């Protein structure tokens, strides 16, 4: 379709559609090119015919939109993720309806670290599905380890940093160091072997795997599947201190504790002796206070018991005396003497107490007992 303009005097004016169509036709005459950048904002939907992504220049942040038919994109089986660096082969085009400039991709290829990143992402998903990174699998670190294992390089600053920090925080700590390769193709199996050797050390309660910072390639051994599985299978908790804060190798995700630096690892595996002594001092003071309070409370209880014991004999005697007086009163009430005191007398003969006049006859001699004294008498008459 011919691109036409409207003439306003000596001014030629294009409509937006005409302008976009003209630019689009001019762009279509440009050759296909390779463009390099990092993948961002990757968007793929089953209902869409095309896949969209933004290609970003990591040096200055410049961006370029890229589109590709979904069938072609899926056929490449690249499993791209944001941050990967790729090469895009395509032709520039303009989406005329919106005036959007973009690169229509004919093919995509990973470049540089892209293959490594993709492989790590696939391994990460695989191990995560197995539960190796699950939070509930991680073990608590010992509060006061008997022995600490340290896996590190033989001339690494990381070793010095860990040992210095541990000694400064807790001088009595006992550390068993195993020096090994921490870079290159031999590093992953060497670290696995070092972990196995430390597991045979008696009274070992925790292991630190330490390595200082480095490039992405330098830290790749610490994302090795063999090492990740060895850490999860280790019989004691493992703390990793690999790289810097922004570095997160897969061993960090599997470890029971992760430190941002080797020095920070020391703060995870040993207590601060000064703080520990202060805590012990506070506990001792609290214990002493508790003991004093208990002793004072028991002393008061004993004093109360002593008072009770001192009063108890007097109370017992008084109770016994009262019971005796009650018994004596009852005995006095039942005694014949009490009856005599009321004016009665007891008459006896040689055969005993006279209870019936029928047992007597005139002329019998009797003995009469009074409340005070007694006398003899002769019976002159009996009455029934």
Chain segment 209-248, per-residue pLDDT in tens: 999 877 777 888 999 999 999 999 999 999 999 887 777 8
8-41 burial, b for 16+ CB within 10 Å, e for fewer? eeeeeeeeeebebbbbbeeeeeeeeeebebbbee
Across 190-216, average pLDDT: 91
Same domain for 107 and 123, yes or no, is no
Instruction: Quickly list DSSP for 317-341.
Output: HHHHHHHHHHHHHHHHHHSHHHHHH
Same domain for 185 and 75, yes or no, is no
Structure confidence at residue 335 (pLDDT)? 65
Q: Report d(CA 199, CA 206) in Å as an integer.
A: 9
Q: What sign has the CA pseudo-torsion 213, 217, 223, 225?
A: negative
Report yes or no on 87 lying in a domain: yes
Same domain for 165 and 300, yes or no, is no
CATH number, domain with residue 88: 2.40.50.140
Q: Report d(CA 14, CA 7) in Å as an integer.
A: 9
Range of the domain at 300: 272-334
Least confident of 20-34, 148-162, 185-199, 368-382: 368-382
Same domain for 133 and 251, yes or no, is yes
Residue that terminates a domain, selected from 271, 294, 319: 271
The pLDDT mean for the chain works out to 86
Structure confidence at residue 343 (pLDDT)? 63
Same domain for 46 and 136, yes or no, is no
CATH number, domain with residue 142: 3.40.50.261
Across 124-133, average pLDDT: 93
Element containing residue 108 per DSSP (H, E): strand 100-110
How many domains are contained in the chain? 4
Across 275-295, average pLDDT: 87
Residue 183 has pLDDT above 80, yes or no: yes
Residue 128 has pLDDT above 90, yes or no: yes
Residue 151 has pLDDT above 90, yes or no: yes
Q: What percent of the chain is modeled with pLDDT above 70?
A: 94
Residue that terminates a domain, selected from 271, 286, 314: 271
Same domain for 291 and 221, yes or no, is no
Structure confidence at residue 340 (pLDDT)? 61
Report yes or no on 235 lying in a domain: yes
Q: Report residue 255's pLDDT band, with 50, 70 and 90 as the boundaries.
A: very high
Same domain for 16 and 66, yes or no, is yes
Least confident of 98-107, 111-120, 184-193, 349-358: 111-120
Report yes or no on 233 lying in a domain: yes
Across 93-101, average pLDDT: 85
Q: Report residue 377's pLDDT band, with 50, 70 and 90 as the boundaries.
A: confident
Q: Report residue 378's pLDDT band, with 50, 70 and 90 as the boundaries.
A: confident
| C-alpha dist (Å) from residue 291 to 228, 280, 295, 301 | 51, 16, 6, 15
Residue 201 has pLDDT above 80, yes or no: yes
Across 180-199, average pLDDT: 91
Same domain for 160 and 260, yes or no, is yes
Radius of gyration of the chain (CA): 55
Same domain for 207 and 150, yes or no, is yes
Report yes or no on 384 lying in a domain: no
Same domain for 97 and 61, yes or no, is yes
Residue that terminates a domain, selected from 334, 351, 370: 334
More confident residue, 113 or 53: 53
Same domain for 303 and 360, yes or no, is no
Residue 352 has pLDDT above 70, yes or no: yes
Residue 115 has pLDDT above 70, yes or no: no
Report yes or no on 263 lying in a domain: yes
Q: Report residue 334's pLDDT band, with 50, 70 and 90 as the boundaries.
A: low
More confident residue, 87 or 1: 87
Residue 57 has pLDDT above 80, yes or no: yes
Same domain for 101 and 147, yes or no, is no
Least confident of 59-63, 137-141, 319-323: 319-323
Instruction: Quickly list DSSP for 14-79.
Output: --HHHHHHHHHHHHHTSPPEEEEEEEEEEE--TT-SEEEEEEE-TTT--EEEEEEEHHHHHHH---
Sheet holding 204-211, edge to edge: 175-179, 147-152, 204-211, 238-242, 257-258
């Amino acid at each position: 379709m011919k691109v036409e303009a409207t003439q306003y005097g000596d001014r030629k004016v294009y409509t937006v559609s005409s302008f976009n169509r003209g630019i689009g036709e001019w762009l279509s005459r440009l050759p296909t090119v390779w463009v390099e950048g990092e993948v961002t904002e990757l968007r793929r939907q089953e209902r869409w015919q095309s896949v969209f992504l933004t290609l970003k220049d990591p040096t200055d942040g410049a961006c370029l939109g890229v589109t590709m038919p979904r069938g072609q994109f899926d056929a490449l089986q690249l499993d791209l993720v944001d941050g990967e660096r790729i090469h895009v082969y395509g032709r520039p085009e303009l989406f005329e309806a919106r005036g959007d400039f973009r690169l229509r991709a004919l093919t995509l290829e990973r470049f540089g670290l892209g293959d490594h990143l993709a492989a790590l992402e696939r391994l990460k998903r695989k191990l995560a599905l197995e539960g190796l990174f699950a939070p509930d699998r991680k073990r608590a670190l010992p509060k006061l380890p008997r022995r600490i294992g340290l896996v590190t390089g033989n001339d690494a600053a990381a070793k010095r940093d860990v040992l210095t920090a541990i000694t400064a925080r807790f001088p009595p700590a006992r550390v068993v160091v195993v020096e090994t390769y921490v870079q290159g193709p031999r590093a992953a199996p060497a670290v696995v072997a070092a972990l196995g050797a430390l597991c045979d050390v008696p009274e070992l309660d925790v292991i630190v795997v330490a390595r200082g910072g480095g490039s992405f390639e330098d830290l790749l051994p610490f994302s090795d599947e063999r090492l990740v599985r060895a850490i999860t299978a280790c019989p004691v908790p493992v703390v990793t201190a690999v790289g810097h804060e922004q570095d997160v190798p897969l061993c960090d995700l599997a470890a029971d504790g992760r430190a941002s630096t080797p020095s920070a690892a020391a703060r995870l595996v040993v207590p601060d002796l000064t703080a520990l002594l202060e805590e012990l001092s506070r506990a001792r003071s609290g214990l002493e206070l508790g003991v004093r309070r208990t002793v004072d409370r028991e002393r008061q209880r004993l004093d109360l018991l002593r008072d009770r014991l001192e009063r108890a004999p007097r109370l017992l005697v008084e109770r016994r005396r009262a019971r005796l007086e009650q018994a004596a009163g009852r005995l006095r009430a039942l005694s014949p003497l009490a009856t005599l005191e009321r004016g009665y007398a007891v008459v006896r003969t040689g055969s005993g107490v006279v209870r019936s006049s029928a047992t007597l006859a005139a002329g019998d001699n009797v003995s009469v007992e009074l409340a005070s004294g007694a006398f003899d008498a002769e019976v002159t008459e009996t009455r029934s």
